[in-house]
Structure 1
Amino acid sequence: MSFRDIVVYLDAGVNTADRVHTAVDLAVKFEARLIGVDVSTKAAFEGRSRDAALAIQDTFVSALSGRNIDFDFRVAPPSTEAAEHHFCHCADLLIATHANPDDRDLCNSAIPEGVLVSAGVPMLVLPPGWKKENTIGNKVVVAWNFSREATRALHDAMPILKEAREVFLFIFAPNYSDTHSDVQDVKAHLEHHGVKVTLAGWRDHGEIDMTSALFAGLDREDADLIVCGAFGRSPLSETLFGGASKVFLNNVSMPVLMSH
């Protein structure tokens, strides 16, 4: 099991160059084909962003110079929200950046959330301001709650988890114990794939929510990636009532690999 086709979304915004560099590194690491998809809006071809928008393909190709990987370039219709137009159904991993308010109008509004919900493919969402020098996947936290979405994310992230130096299995539950059979089963399953697992459970006493507990532990563990399921409830429900997916999508501290 590996990533054979990786899609990286391209626009005229300030985060694209570092996002492409990270995508290239992952494509090299997993010997994958890299597909750059231009998701520029019509507004991107106006004003100060015009030159950058027109140069997206050349910039993408230049970033691959000297790197021995197969690649392709596609263009999505400017206003489409359909997943098939974002070339995600024949990919193993999608790479995007969380919406940056300063240049949000340059990128199709379906990126990242709309595509994440409809693609059926895991998405690596980088925080705004992400720098190409930053590492991904050395120390990984898996947010695990025995749900369908968490199960999907765990298996979708397996190529990264197998390469990680350490993986922290974070479980937030009132009765959490390292010795519970369901906890040990998940740990054993990961270990059967060669994953180095550390249990990082947190007993929920009602004093803190799950995402706050998880982020509180990240400093101690020096993690560089979160793996989690996305939208166990509908995106509208999470918008109205709050939810972990929105918190993870809006975090500005580290990358998140999400599956829905």
Structure 2
Amino acid sequence: MGYRDIVVYLDVGADCPARVRTAINVAAKHQARLIGVDISTKEALEGESRDSAMAIEAKFTTAVQEAGLDFQYHRARPEAHTAVLFAHCADLLVTTQPHPDRRHLSNSAVPQEILMTAGVPMLVLPTGWAGEGAIGERVIVAWNFSRESTRAVHDAMPILKLARKVFLFVFASNYSDQNEDVQEIKSHLEHHAVTVALEGWRDTGETDFTGALFAVLDRESADLIVCGAYGHSPLFEDMFGGATRNLLNNISMPVLMSH
């Protein structure tokens, strides 16, 4: 199954135009409908940001019409919760890591609460993302045989099947390319016509998960990370666990996450 409905969250932040460009590119690649959801808060609708907030719909509509996409636009109620942020009727959500100086201008449920509760994969773009680079050509899958990483792989399958190369990154003390469980997930991906290369890293205690992953990212010139989101707290500081939280706080490329 491919992505048929993609939601992109809209706000008055400086990262929104690049977020929309990226969402348009992903939607066009997968022949999906793009649904823009305005998550501006009451603060965004007042003062110096008001004009920008009132122009969100027009700018989004112009961009998707120029791209020739099927689309919808919705304005969410300020401070709306997950159930009314149009996440449950989507195949993929697109947002940006919140900038601390502009956090009050967009709904606080995005991305933290919605990722943990909606049951829909989320493409999280880094703050300052220009929206010009390719996404999904060379993909790193952070795999650890967990429920969350399994969910992430299957949620990302439409992207993985179109990628030129997928690198399966495993960080474990007993790692070997010949391990039966490693070969099983490699075979499963290949059965979906995914081109897979193994990028295992034996954990000897000299580096941690994040350091090893960044080394592989640099070596393989990847443009997207696929990984599971861990934890049960709605708070951003707690929900991902150490490795995933460190990853999100330090990345300079998009991450597709599932919980």
TM over 0.5, yes or no? Answer: yes
When residues 191 and 100 of structure 1 are mapped into structure 2, their CA distance, relative to the original with a 3 A threshold, is same
When residues 109 and 235 of structure 1 are mapped into structure 2, their CA distance, relative to the original with a 3 A threshold, is closer
When residues 58 and 241 of structure 1 are mapped into structure 2, their CA distance, relative to the original with a 3 A threshold, is closer
1:6 alignment partner in structure 2: 6
**How much is the aligned-residue C-alpha RMSD, in angstroms?**
1.7
Whether 1:152 aligns to 2:151 is yes
Contact 2:113/2:235 (8 A) holds in 1:
no
Q: CA deviation at 1:135?
A: 1.1
1:27 alignment partner in structure 2: 27
2:74 alignment partner in structure 1: 74
Q: CA deviation at 1:236?
A: 5.5
User: What is the percentage of aligned positions where both structures have the same residue?
Assistant: 62
Q: Residue by residue, what CA displacement relative to the aligned partner does 1:225-260 show, whole Å, maximum 9, x if unpaired?
A: 000000146456963995123223323410000000
When residues 85 and 18 of structure 1 are mapped into structure 2, their CA distance, relative to the original with a 3 A threshold, is same
Q: CA deviation at 1:79?
A: 1.0
Contact 1:123/1:259 (8 A) holds in 2:
yes
Which one-letter code corresponds to 2:41 in the other structure? T
1:107 alignment partner in structure 2: 106
2:57 alignment partner in structure 1: 57
Whether 1:231 aligns to 2:230 is yes
The alignment's TM-score, normalised by the length of structure 1, stands at 0.95
Rounded to whole Å, the distance in 1 between the matches of 2:22 and 2:69 is 14
Contact 2:230/2:244 (8 A) holds in 1:
yes
1:16 alignment partner in structure 2: 16
Give the unaligned 5+ runs of structure 1.
none
Q: CA deviation at 1:15?
A: 0.5
Whether 1:221 aligns to 2:210 is no
Whether 1:177 aligns to 2:176 is yes
Contact 1:139/1:167 (8 A) holds in 2:
yes
Rounded to whole Å, the distance in 1 between the matches of 2:164 and 2:15 is 27
Give the unaligned 5+ runs of structure 2.
none
When residues 236 and 38 of structure 1 are mapped into structure 2, their CA distance, relative to the original with a 3 A threshold, is closer
Rounded to whole Å, the distance in 2 between the matches of 1:99 and 1:145 is 27
Aligned length: 259
1:201 alignment partner in structure 2: 200
1:188 alignment partner in structure 2: 187
Greater CA deviation, 240-249 or 99-108? 240-249
Contact 2:122/2:257 (8 A) holds in 1:
yes
1:45 alignment partner in structure 2: 45
Q: How do 1:134-149 and structure 2 match up within 5 A?
A: 134-149=133-148
Secondary structure of 1:208's aligned partner: coil
Rounded to whole Å, the distance in 2 between the matches of 1:90 and 1:210 is 34
Contact 2:189/2:196 (8 A) holds in 1:
yes
2:82 alignment partner in structure 1: 83
